[in-house]
Structure formats: C-alpha cells, structure tokens
Amino acid sequence: MDLQILLAVAAGAAGASAFFIGSSRAHLTRWFPHSRQPKKPKGLVEVKKVKNPHPDWQPGQKLPHPFDSNHRLELDPAQEGAGLYPFVISSVVPRPIAFISSLSKEGVGNLSPYSYFGVMSHDPPYVTIGTCATSGRPNRMKDSQQNILETGEFTLNMMSEWFLEAANHTCGNYDRGVNEVELAGLTPVPSVRVKPPRIDEAAVQLECKLRHTYDVKNTKEEVTATIIIGEVVLIHVLEAVTGKTGHGHIYVEFDKYAPVSRLGGNTYARITETYDLPRPGKEWQERDALVAPAK
C-alpha cells in the first residue's frame, strides 16, 4: 500500500471514531437500545425467567424419578442425636436467613445469622427462629437467645447479597459483650417500636416482640435448642426494592432484593432463575375425575 492510501485509510478511521465519540447519547441509544437502560446498581444479581422443569406435564402423568426409590436409609433422631446436624442443614434447603439484632439488658448490641428460621403467618406476621445450644454445651444458650429472653425484643433483618460477607463475619464464636455490628462494619439504625437497632444494609427490617418460646430437649432431657416465636410489630422496607400489586399492596421484587439462602455446610445460594406455575383451578378437579375416576 503506498503512503497516500495508508494516510487516507488512517484519516478515515480516525474520522469515524471521532464521529462515534462525538455522537450524542441520543444517537447511541437509537442504534443500541440497551444503552438506554439505566445502569444496574452494584451488588444485584441477574435473574432470568425460564421454563418450568416439565412444561408438557399433564395431571395424573407419572414423572421419571432420577434415582432408585427403593433404596432409602432410615435415620432415627433418638439414635443420631447431635450427629443429625449435617443431614438436617443439607436436606431442608434452601433456608432463608434471619439476621437477628438484639440487646442485652445492659444495652450491649448483638448481631448473628440464624437459618433455622421461617415466617408462619402474615396477619399479623409471626416468625420462628431456632437457637441451638452452643456446640457441645447443652443448656448453654446463645447470646441472641439470652438477650431476647431478657428484653423480649429483637429486630430481624433480611439478608441480601450486597452485605453478605460482613453478615457472615458476625457468626464467629465471639465473647458475650462483643458487639458484632461494629466488628463486621455494619451500620445500626434506631428502631421505632423496639430497642434493638435495625441494620441499615438490610432492605427489609422487621421489628419484633417475643411472644413464645419452646425448649427442645434431647433424650437426656438436655435443652439443645429453643424455638423463639416473635410477632412483627413494624416493617421497614427500602422503597427501591418494592413493587405494587394490582390491588395496590406492596411486595418485594427479588431481582432488586438479591436474597441469600443457606444450604448445608458453609454453602450459601443465590436465585438466578425462576419460573411461574399457576395454581390449578377447579376445572382440573373435573379433568382429574375424568383421568382417574374416584372410587
């Protein structure tokens, strides 16, 4: 290529890039519609809608089982004792995680994750948490439990991926009196109806009052866990993660929420795919009756 052609090509390329660089955002978004979308905030997870596992399934149809269902082990809790721990935490999955903030009667803060946790109702919401005795020391309760029993109050902060490492750090076996909120670098914010603070990093914060406890005893009559039942008396939710139903009720959009769940061992899980299945209507009852008439 002689020098003149080379210079012309170089000048053309430079002109084209100058044109692109100088283009207004309006030009860019017309050609590349994706650049019009607002940037996703950091710490969020891409959630894809996918097909359900068996889109062609019809009621009554047997689905293929991937394993031989005749070979099962029987585990007797009375025999297994504390050895059931790996089985329980790996089989009842995924579990949501309650990040519990409590205060001792002297006012010292405490923060710890609990995945023996569930919500049992919504009008009003009641939550349950299972606090296990400190490992190898039955009858020795965890600090969160002692605080909740002493004060009757706690806040339950839901876990999102953007602060997971800090939250995980709070579960160390620290001495009573150590404030895990400060240790992990999390941010306490005052609650309205209870004394223990909420955790600012959490998108959903539930102010709770203790309503009931139930001690779980092993075969030796030792208290190995306590089930704490609390009533949610006030809810705080980040507006940015909410949507509204057709009836105007608030719900949480989980692609903005990045919820984290607990599996067995030290494993956490994130939701990256979801699928919808409508609840079957009454018409399927008639259809079922046609497929397998009731005797």
Residues of the shown chain interacting with ligand FMN in the complex, contacts defined by CB under 6 A? 97, 110, 112-116, 130-132, 142-144, 168, 171, 173, 262
C-beta of 75 vs 92, nearer to ligand FMN: 92
Q: Is the peptide bond before 94 cis (omega within 30 degrees of 0)?
A: yes
Q: How far is the CB of 95 from ligand FMN (least distance, A)?
A: 8
Using alpha carbons, list the distances in angstroms from residue 245 to 15, 150, 236, 272. Answer: 51, 39, 18, 23
- In a 3-state reduction of DSSP, which class is residue 250? strand
Determine contact, residues 113/159, Cβ cutoff 8 Å.
yes
Q: How far apart are CA 148 and CA 155, in angstroms?
A: 10
C-beta of 97 vs 204, nearer to ligand FMN: 97
Q: How far is the CB of 125 from ligand FMN (least distance, A)?
A: 19
Q: How far is the CB of 143 from ligand FMN (least distance, A)?
A: 4
Q: How far is the CB of 276 from ligand FMN (least distance, A)?
A: 28
Residue 110's Cβ-count burial label (10 Å; 0-12, 13-18, 19+) is: buried
Determine contact, residues 154/230, Cβ cutoff 8 Å.
yes
Q: How far is the CB of 212 from ligand FMN (least distance, A)?
A: 17
C-beta of 172 vs 280, nearer to ligand FMN: 172
Q: How far apart are CA 230 and CA 151, in angstroms?
A: 12
C-beta of 256 vs 262, nearer to ligand FMN: 262
C-beta of 121 vs 135, nearer to ligand FMN: 135
